[in-house]
Chains A and B, each alone.
Chain A
Amino acid sequence: MRPAFRNDAYAKVTGGAKYTDDYTLPRMLHAVPLHAQTASALIKSIDCSLALQSPGVLRVILAEDIPGTIKFGQIIKDYPTLAHKRICSTGDVLALVVAESRAQALAALPLIKVQLEEIPPIFDPEQAMLPTAELINPDYGSNVCNYHRVRNGDIQRGEADSDFIIEQDFSTSRIEHAYLEPESALADLRPDGVMEVIGSMQHPFSTRRFVASTLGFELSDVEVKTVPIGGAFGGKDDTAALVCARAALCAYLLKRPVKLTYSREMSLRESYKRHPYKLQYRMGVGKDGSITFVKVRMVADGGAYCSVTPWVTWRSTVQCCGCYEVPNVHCDVYGVYTNNVFSGAFRGFGSPQVNFAIEQLVEIAAQKLGLDEISFRRKNMVRQGSTTITNQVLDTHKVSLQEVMDKVLKEIDYEAKRAKCSFGDPKQDKWYGIGFAISYRGMSLGAEGVDFNSAIINVQPDGSVLLETGIHENGQGSESAMILIAAEELGLPVERIRYRMPSTSNIPDGGTTVASRGTLLGGGATTNAAKILKGIIAETLLKEYDLSAERFENGQILTPDGQTICTWEKAIALCYSKQIYPYAFGVFQAPRVSWDEETGHGNAYFTWVYGCQAVELEVDPKTLKVTLLNLVAAHDVGKAINPAMVKGQFYGGLAMGAGYGLFEELPLADGGVIATNLHQYRLMRATDLPEMTAIIVENPDPTSPSKAKGIGEPTLEITAPAIANAIFRATGKRYVDQPLKLRL
Chain B
Amino acid sequence: MIIVNGHKHKIPEALLDKKLSEWLREDLYLTGVKIGCEIGVCGSCTILVDNLTRRSCKMLVKDAVGHEITTIEGLSGEDGTLHPLQQAFMDAGAIQCGFCTPGMVLSALALLLQNHHPTRSEIRQALKGNICRCTGYQQIVDAVERAARIMYPDPK
Binding site for B on A (CB under 8 A): 3-4, 6, 8-19, 21-22, 177-182, 228-233, 263-264, 474-477, 644-645, 647-648, 650-656, 677-679, 683-687, 689, 691-692
In the complex, A180→B105 CA distance in Å? 16
Interface string of B118-148 (1 = CB under 8 A from A): 0010011101101111111111110000000
Asked whether, in the complex, the Cβ of B95 is within 8 Å of the Cβ of A678, the reply is: no
Asked whether, in the complex, the Cβ of A647 is within 8 Å of the Cβ of B93, the reply is: yes
Q: List 23 A-B contacts (CB under 8 A).
A: A6-B95, A8-B98, A13-B95, A14-B76, A14-B86, A15-B31, A15-B73, A15-B102, A18-B31, A21-B31, A180-B42, A230-B97, A231-B99, A475-B97, A475-B98, A476-B96, A645-B93, A655-B136, A684-B136, A687-B124, A689-B136, A689-B138, A692-B136
Asked whether, in the complex, the Cβ of A12 is within 8 Å of the Cβ of B95, the reply is: yes
Asked whether, in the complex, the Cβ of B97 is within 8 Å of the Cβ of A651, the reply is: no
- In the complex, chain B residues whose CB is within 8 Å of the CB of A645: 93, 96
Choose the segment among B33-41, B48-56, B58-66 that binds chain A (4+ C-beta atoms closer than 8 Å).
B33-41
In the complex, A528→B98 CA distance in Å? 30
Contact among A180, A182, A655 with B97 in the assembled complex (CB-CB below 8 Å):
A180
- For B, the interface residue count at a CB cutoff of 8 angstroms equals 55
Binding site for A on B (CB under 8 A): 25, 30-39, 41-42, 44, 71-73, 75-76, 80, 82, 86, 89-102, 105, 120, 123-125, 127-128, 130-141
B83 to chain A, nearest CB (A): 9
Q: A181-B36, A264-B38, A677-B37 are in contact. Are A686 and B128 (CB under 8 A)?
A: yes
**Nearest opposing residue in chain A for B71, CB measure:** A15
Asked whether, in the complex, the Cβ of A182 is within 8 Å of the Cβ of B125, the reply is: no
Q: A13-B89, A181-B99, A474-B97 are in contact. Are A264 and B36 (CB under 8 A)?
A: yes
Q: A178-B133, A677-B39, A691-B120 are in contact. Are A12 and B127 (CB under 8 A)?
A: no
Asked whether, in the complex, the Cβ of A233 is within 8 Å of the Cβ of B131, the reply is: no
In the complex, A16→B31 CA distance in Å? 8
**Nearest opposing residue in chain B for A230, CB measure:** B99
- In the complex, chain B residues whose CB is within 8 Å of the CB of A684: 136-137
Asked whether, in the complex, the Cβ of A679 is within 8 Å of the Cβ of B136, the reply is: no
Asked whether, in the complex, the Cβ of A4 is within 8 Å of the Cβ of B97, the reply is: no
Asked whether, in the complex, the Cβ of B37 is within 8 Å of the Cβ of A678, the reply is: yes
- In the complex, chain B residues whose CB is within 8 Å of the CB of A178: 131, 133
A523 to chain B, nearest CB (A): 18
Q: A181-B36, A648-B134 are in contact. Are A17 and B128 (CB under 8 A)?
A: no
In the complex, A744→B64 CA distance in Å? 49
Asked whether, in the complex, the Cβ of A180 is within 8 Å of the Cβ of B99, the reply is: yes
In the complex, A263→B102 CA distance in Å? 20
Q: A230-B98, A692-B136 are in contact. Are A678 and B41 (CB under 8 A)?
A: yes
B84 to chain A, nearest CB (A): 11
In the complex, A139→B36 CA distance in Å? 38
Asked whether, in the complex, the Cβ of A14 is within 8 Å of the Cβ of B97, the reply is: no
Asked whether, in the complex, the Cβ of A648 is within 8 Å of the Cβ of B139, the reply is: yes
Asked whether, in the complex, the Cβ of B133 is within 8 Å of the Cβ of A233, the reply is: yes
